[in-house]
Structure 1
Amino acid sequence: MMQDKKPADVIIVGGGTAAFAGAIRAADQGAQVLIVEEGKIGGTCVNWGCVPSKTLIARADEYQCVRHEQRFGLETSGEINLELLFENQRFTVDRVRNSHYEGMLAAYPGIEVLKGHGRFVAPDTLDVNGEHYQSERFLVAAGGRPRTLNIPGLKETGFLTSHSILQRKTLPESLLVLGGGVIALEMGQMLSRLGTRVTIVERNDRLLKEFDRRLSEKFHALLESEGVHVELGVETLRTYREDDQVVICGRRENEGFCLQAHELLLAVGTAPATDRLGCDTAGIALTEEGFIAVDEEMGTSVKGIWAAGDITGGPLIAPAGAHEAEVAVDNMFHPEKHRRIDHRMTPMAVFTVPEFAVVGIFTPSWQPNSLDIVDAFLDLERVDKAHIVDRRHGGILVCADRENGRLLGVQMLGDRAADVIQAAAVAIRCGMSVFDLADTVTVYPAISEGLQLAARACVRKLQQVS
C-alpha cells in the first residue's frame, strides 16, 4: 500500500537551472522545498548543453587562433590532444555542477533533493518511486530534450543529438548536420574547427532565419571560408546506411541528390519533456507543440501548479527559465503581487564565432521599413577594435521608435556580442532612446563602441525623416 509523505510547501519537478532558481526563491521565503530529479542535478544546461558545448567552442576557437598566428608574425604549432580536451570538458561540467548546484545545497537546509521520476497521479499528488508526495504548490520545470523528426529510415540509420555528441570521447571524421539553427551552427562550426568535415543541411533558404539576413549571410560566408559546406533549401526525404557511411537523400527545387558522411547530427530544436509527467491525469493543458501552456504569471490550467523553463516553450535559454521560476514562486506565495513575465527585454545569444545576439522586438517577420520604426545597420568594419583583434565579420542593427527615438531592439553579429547585448537590454528596460545611446561615452577600443556608432546612425535617420 502506497503511503502519502508529509507535504512540502512546494514540490519542484526537475533539477536544472529553472528548478534551482525557483527552489532558492522559495527557500529564501522560508518555504520547505522538495526537488524531484531523476537525472543529474544541473539539468540540460550544465550537463548536456551550455556548459559542455561552450567549453568545446572556446577550445576550438583557441585552436583556430593558434593555427592562424603566423599571419601576425607568431610562429606557433599545435595538435589536438583529444583525451585532454574531453577531460577538460568533463572537469568544467563537474566544477560548475558542484559549485552552483550540489555544493549550493548546503547553504539551503530547507531544500531537499529526491532522486526519481515524478509523475502526477492527481492535481495535488506526485508519484515518485512508488510513493505519493502531496503539496498545495507545484512548479514543473522538467525541461526539454532534443527534438527528432519523422523521416523514413532515420530510426534505423541512427543519429547523434546535441546531448549524445557531447558525451563522445572521439570526433567524427565527417558529419552531416540536419538543421540550420542555433545548435546546428554552434556544433557544426566547433567540430569543423577541431578537424571534422562538416556539411550543414537546412530546409530554409538561409541559416538562422530568426536574425536579419545581413547578419546571417555574413556568417554563412564565414562558415564557407572555414571549410564548412552548407546546403540550403533541402527537403530531406529519407536516410540510410551504406557501409560505414550515413546517407541523406533530399530534394531541392525538384532535383534529387544524396549526401553522405560518417555520422549524422540531428539539430532541429527542443521538444518538451511532458510525455511522462501525467499532465492528462492532473488536467494540465498543453500547447499544440506539446509544451505546458502558461499565463503571464506562469500559472498552468490547474490551480496550484505553475511551470517554468524549456517545458513551457521559448525562449529556450537558461536565464529566461530561471526568471520564469522566480516569478512563479513569487506568485505562489504572494498572489496579490501578480508578477508577470515579459520576454521582450530578454536577451539571447548564439555562441558561434563570432557570436550572434539579440534583444527587443525583432521577429522572423521583421520589417525594417515599417512606418512605426526606423532601423540602422553598422558593419563591424567600422569598429576599430574589430580590426585590432582581426575579427571584422559582423554588424549591428539598431531599431528605434520613429516618433520619439526610444530604443526598441538590437541585433548583432560580432566578437563578444553576447556581452555587448546586455548593455542594449538594460537600455531597453530603462526606456532609453537612441539619442541617449549615441550620447553615451564608450570605452575605447572596444567592440561595444559599435553600439554607440549604430545608435548615431539611427539618430541621423530619425533626423532625416522628422
Structure 2
Amino acid sequence: MTAAPDLVILGAGTTALAAAERAAELGARVVVIEQAVPGGTCINWGCIPSKTLIHKAALYHAARRGAAAGLNLTPGPVDCAALMAAKQQAIDRVRQERCDRLLNEHPAIRLVRGHGRLRAPGEVQVGPEILRSDHILIACGGLPRHLDLPGMHTVAALNSYSVLNLPAIPRSLLIVGGGVIALEIGQMLQRFGCQVTLLERGDRPLAEFDPRLTGPLCALLAAEGLRQHFGVEVRQVAAEGEGVAVAAMINGHPLRLTAERLMLAVGTVPATAGLGLEAVGVACDRQGFVVIDAECRTSVPGIWAAGDVTGPPLLAPAGELEGRVAVENMFAGRHCTVDHHGTPMAVFIDPEIALVGQTAAQAGAAGHEVAEAYLDLAAVAKAHVVGAPTGALLLWADRHDGRLLGGQILAPRAADLIHELALAVRACLTVSELADSVHVYPTISDGWRLAARRLLADCPELRGRA
C-alpha cells in the first residue's frame, strides 16, 4: 500500500485495531502507527495477562478448597517461572489472532513502527516520514497513574503493568487503591501466598457497585486473608530494610504499615505525551483526556479520538465501540453516536461482580419511577451445587412500562452472566419477558429469571407489560 492513506491511526491497541478493521471493510486505506508492542494494554499488559494469572490463582485456590469435600489435594509452592510462561503463551496466541494477522496480512492496512506526532491538521510525522490524511484517529490509550508522594523515589513501586512480570511472588504487598485492578491483583497474589493489604481512600471498594454487593465481597476477601483499610490518606513512603514502609492516616488516626513491595493502583492517565495535541489545538480536559463529542470528533476538524485516551469508561470493549463509531462517521456518511448505557463491565475477582445499565439512583435522576428486586444468591440452586452461595442479584425496572433499566450481580461467572441482562437492557425487554424466559436448570443465570419473578411479586402491576 503506497497511496496516501485514507485514515491514520495513532496507536495499535484494541480501539485502534477495531477501527482499522472496520475502515478497511468500508474500503479505506489505513496506516496504523505504534511505537511499542502492537496489541496495546489489553493484550500485552492488561486484560489477557492479568486474567490468565487470575485463572491460575483460582486453580491453586481450588486445590485447597477441595479438602472440605474430601478432595485431599495439597498445593505445593508456586513456580513463578512456569506461571509467567503460561501468561506469555496466552499473550502471544491472542496477539497473533487479534492483532498480527490484521496488521501484517491485510492488504489495506499498513503498520508503521515509531512515535507519531501531529504536525498540523491532516499531518502526522513518524521519524523522517510524514503522513498526510483527511482522517486521523487518536487511539493511543492510557498508562497507569503514578503518585508523587514524599519518599516515592526511594522505592521501586509496582503498577498494573510491572506486577504482572514478577520474578517471584513477594511475601507481602501494600496496594494503594481499591478499584478494579487493586482487587483483581490483590486477590490473585493473596491466593499465591502473598500477604496483601489494600489501602483505599474511599469508604468502600468499587464505588460504582451497590454496597449490598461490595459488603459481602469484602467479607469474602477478608476470609481469604486479604487485609483492607478504608478512609486511608497515604502521607509518606520510605524504603525500610529490604521492603517499604507507608505512613498514612486512616479515618483521622495515624497508621504505619510495612511490606516487601508497594503497588500503586490509582487509575489511568492518557498516553498523550509528545503527540503534539497542543500544536494543532486538540482540546483536553483537566486530567489530560482528549475531549470528544458523541460522534467521537475532537475540537479539530478531521481528527477523531476513541478509547482510553478520551477517559471513562476505560473498558476495552467500550473503546472498540468508539473506534467503530468514529470510522462509521468518517467513511459511511453516518452520524453514529456512542451510547454506553448498555455497555457491561465486570471485575474478575472470585466471585465475579458485574453491572450494566442504570442503578436506581441513576434511573431516578433520569426521570424514571424505579421498581427494584434484590435476590440473595442462596435462592439459586446452582450456587449450592458449586459451593458458593454468597452473593446477590439486583434488578431495576421502570415502574410504568416494566422496561428493564439495569442490574448488578455478585456470583461465580458474573462476567459471563451479565450479557443476558445487557441484551435485555439494550433490547428494551420488560420484567415479564425476562420472568417468562425459560432457563437451563441448574444454572446461576437462572437467577435473573428468579429476580424478575421476585420483582413481579413485589410489583404485580408490572405483570404483562411489554
Normalized against structure 2, the TM-score is what? 0.96
* Matched-pair contact (CA < 8 Å) for 2:21–2:102: no
| Superimposed CA distance per residue, residues 94-122 of structure 1 (whole angstroms, 9 cap, x where no aligned partner) | 11111211123355111000010111111
- Specify the alignment match of 1:72 in structure 2: 69
Q: Of 371, 384, 390, which aligns to 2:381?
A: 384
Matched residues in 2 for 1:253 and 1:464: separation? 46
Q: Of 191, 194, 209, which aligns to 2:192?
A: 194
- For residue 465 of structure 1, report the CA deviation from its aligned partner: 9.4
Are 2:410 and 1:413 aligned? yes
Question: What is the one-letter code of the residue matched to 1:290?
Answer: G
Matched residues in 2 for 1:274 and 1:362: separation? 33
- Specify the alignment match of 1:100 in structure 2: 98
| Superimposed CA distance per residue, residues 169-228 of structure 1 (whole angstroms, 9 cap, x where no aligned partner) | 211110001000000000000000011110000011111111000100111000100000
- For residue 252 of structure 1, report the CA deviation from its aligned partner: 2.1
- For residue 155 of structure 1, report the CA deviation from its aligned partner: 2.9
* Matched-pair contact (CA < 8 Å) for 1:6–1:134: no
Matched residues in 2 for 1:366 and 1:412: separation? 18
- For residue 363 of structure 1, report the CA deviation from its aligned partner: 8.4
Matched residues in 1 for 2:230 and 2:361: separation? 17
Q: Of 109, 112, 121, which aligns to 2:110?
A: 112
CA spacing shift, 1:146–1:414, aligned 2, 3 Å: same
- For residue 131 of structure 1, report the CA deviation from its aligned partner: 2.4
Matched residues in 1 for 2:223 and 2:151: separation? 33
User: Where do 5+ consecutive residues of structure 1 fail to align?
Assistant: none
- For residue 254 of structure 1, report the CA deviation from its aligned partner: 2.3
Question: What is the one-letter code of the residue matched to 1:453?
Answer: L
* Matched-pair contact (CA < 8 Å) for 1:13–1:118: yes
* Matched-pair contact (CA < 8 Å) for 2:245–2:257: yes
Structure 1 window deviating more from structure 2 (92-101 vs 181-190): it is 92-101
CA spacing shift, 1:363–1:158, aligned 2, 3 Å: farther
Secondary structure at the aligned position of 1:51 is classed as helix
Matched residues in 1 for 2:360 and 2:254: separation? 32
Are 2:62 and 1:62 aligned? no
Secondary structure at the aligned position of 2:440 is classed as coil
Matched residues in 1 for 2:174 and 2:210: separation? 25
- Specify the alignment match of 1:403 in structure 2: 400
Are 2:44 and 1:35 aligned? no
Secondary structure at the aligned position of 1:59 is classed as helix
Matched residues in 1 for 2:461 and 2:30: separation? 58
* Matched-pair contact (CA < 8 Å) for 2:141–2:270: yes
Q: Of 312, 315, 339, which aligns to 2:310?
A: 312
Normalized against structure 1, the TM-score is what? 0.96
Q: Write out the 4+ residue segments of structure 1 that deviate beyond 3 Å after TM superposition.
A: 104-107, 363-368
- For residue 367 of structure 1, report the CA deviation from its aligned partner: 7.1
- For residue 424 of structure 1, report the CA deviation from its aligned partner: 0.4
Question: What is the one-letter code of the residue matched to 1:120?
Answer: L
Matched residues in 2 for 1:237 and 1:105: separation? 46
Are 2:346 and 1:349 aligned? yes
Question: What is the one-letter code of the residue matched to 1:101?
Answer: C
Matched residues in 2 for 1:259 and 1:204: separation? 18
* Matched-pair contact (CA < 8 Å) for 2:407–2:421: yes
- Specify the alignment match of 1:52 in structure 2: 49
Matched residues in 2 for 1:304 and 1:371: separation? 38
- For residue 464 of structure 1, report the CA deviation from its aligned partner: 7.0
- Specify the alignment match of 2:158 in structure 1: 160
Q: Of 19, 27, 51, which aligns to 1:22?
A: 19
| Superimposed CA distance per residue, residues 39-65 of structure 1 (whole angstroms, 9 cap, x where no aligned partner) | 001000000000000000000001100
Matched residues in 2 for 1:389 and 1:36: separation? 47
- Specify the alignment match of 1:12 in structure 2: 9
CA spacing shift, 1:246–1:363, aligned 2, 3 Å: farther
Matched residues in 2 for 1:365 and 1:105: separation? 41
RMSD (Å) for aligned C-alpha atoms: 1.7
- For residue 270 of structure 1, report the CA deviation from its aligned partner: 0.9
Matched residues in 1 for 2:279 and 2:309: separation? 17
- Specify the alignment match of 2:125 in structure 1: 127
- Specify the alignment match of 1:261 in structure 2: 259
* Matched-pair contact (CA < 8 Å) for 1:211–1:364: no
| Superimposed CA distance per residue, residues 217-269 of structure 1 (whole angstroms, 9 cap, x where no aligned partner) | 11100010000010111111111111112111111232111111010010011
CA spacing shift, 1:321–1:118, aligned 2, 3 Å: same
Matched residues in 2 for 1:399 and 1:31: separation? 43
* Matched-pair contact (CA < 8 Å) for 1:123–1:281: no
- For residue 29 of structure 1, report the CA deviation from its aligned partner: 1.4
Are 2:446 and 1:449 aligned? yes
Matched residues in 1 for 2:71 and 2:154: separation? 49
- For residue 130 of structure 1, report the CA deviation from its aligned partner: 3.1
User: Where do 5+ consecutive residues of structure 2 fail to align?
Assistant: none
- Specify the alignment match of 1:138 in structure 2: 136
Are 2:171 and 1:173 aligned? yes
Matched residues in 2 for 1:111 and 1:399: separation? 44
Secondary structure at the aligned position of 2:118 is classed as strand
Overall identity of the aligned pairs, in %: 45
Question: What is the one-letter code of the residue matched to 1:182?
Answer: V
Secondary structure at the aligned position of 1:99 is classed as helix
* Matched-pair contact (CA < 8 Å) for 1:201–1:234: yes
Structure 1 window deviating more from structure 2 (47-56 vs 63-72): it is 63-72
CA spacing shift, 1:334–1:313, aligned 2, 3 Å: same
- For residue 374 of structure 1, report the CA deviation from its aligned partner: 1.3
Matched residues in 2 for 1:285 and 1:436: separation? 45
